Structure 1
Amino acid sequence: MVKSFQGVREVEPKKSPIHQILVKDHMSTNLVTFGPNDTIDKVMEVLTKKKISGAPVVDESGGLVGIISEVDCLREIIKGKYTNTPGFPGKVSEYMTRDVITLTPDLSLFDAAGKFLELKIRRFPVLKDGRLIGQISLSDVIRAFPKLKHTTW
């Protein structure tokens, strides 16, 4: 009979590569954007045509200055009805949200999901080094998770 005198050995756990699920992997990069001087009627036309609910507002140099949404357009519609003006003369700069909360491309998709729940916002512009590189929406996050069900979270 042979006995081993190596003693008790600690078995190192298998290291599985942790695959980070990041915002940059699921964000939209081909963005519709508007300028601050665009009219609300143009915004409504584009949002309807593209079937989107909002978009970033950028200045002449491409810097993010705000975000415009369907809710912002609704404010102009109500104003037009109240003042009995048939057109929509309002400018994007009058209705857009200026204090935009942004995300970074290397943020975990789970952390982004938490931000959506916490802040009740439907879209976040994604900035890298101060430049707009994409946008992630609540729908993007929802679409990503069924594809991930077989991965280790």
Structure 2
Amino acid sequence: MISDIMNTHVIILSPKDSIKRALDLMNENNINGSPVADEEGNLIGMIVKADIYRFLMEEGHYDTCPVEWVMTKDVFTASEKEDVISIAKKILDKDIIAMPIVDSSNKLLGIVSIEDVLKSLIYKLK
């Protein structure tokens, strides 16, 4: 099950966090993206470095612009009950770097990255 490999120590951003804060947190934690959740912990978006870099190509004040301006709101998610192969297929099909894992009420439980899936599959092959 995906719950066995998902990362539950997730850097979660608020939609009101600045883009600078998002990029700083990603760099400090060596991650390429982060889920965005509301005050109740409901997943409302996902932001990745590529989104931020595209935004920075335009003029703007990334130290004051909120994450909600740049985040992807249509986020592909998975259930903690899904298996690793199913998640791997979704990540490949959707061409994304990570997939948030949510419960039935859309509360964020964790995240699974491409690296997590690969490590799991390699471990199973050994």
TM-score range, shorter chain: over 0.9
Match of 1:135 in 2: 111
Match of 1:32 in 2: 11
Match of 1:6 in 2: none
Identical columns (%):
27
Gap runs ≥5 in structure 1 = 1-21
Match of 2:101 in 1: 126
Matches of 1:50 and 1:40, distance apart in 2: 15
Matches of 2:103 and 2:112, distance apart in 1: 13
Gap runs ≥5 in structure 2 = none
Larger radius of gyration: 1
2:35 counterpart letter in structure 1 = P
Are the counterparts in 2 of residues 77 and 88 from structure 1 also a CA contact under 8 Å?
Answer: no
Residues 105-116 of structure 1: matches in 2 within 5 Å? 105-116=80-91
2:31 counterpart letter in structure 1 = I
Moved over 6 A (4+): none
Matches of 1:68 and 1:117, distance apart in 2: 18
2:68 aligned with 1:93, yes or no?
A: yes
Matches of 1:32 and 1:51, distance apart in 2: 11
Higher RCO, 1 vs 2 (CA within 8 Å, ≥6 residues apart)? 2
Are the counterparts in 2 of residues 76 and 88 from structure 1 also a CA contact under 8 Å?
Answer: no
Q: CA deviation at 1:89?
A: 2.6
Matches of 2:32 and 2:124, distance apart in 1: 26
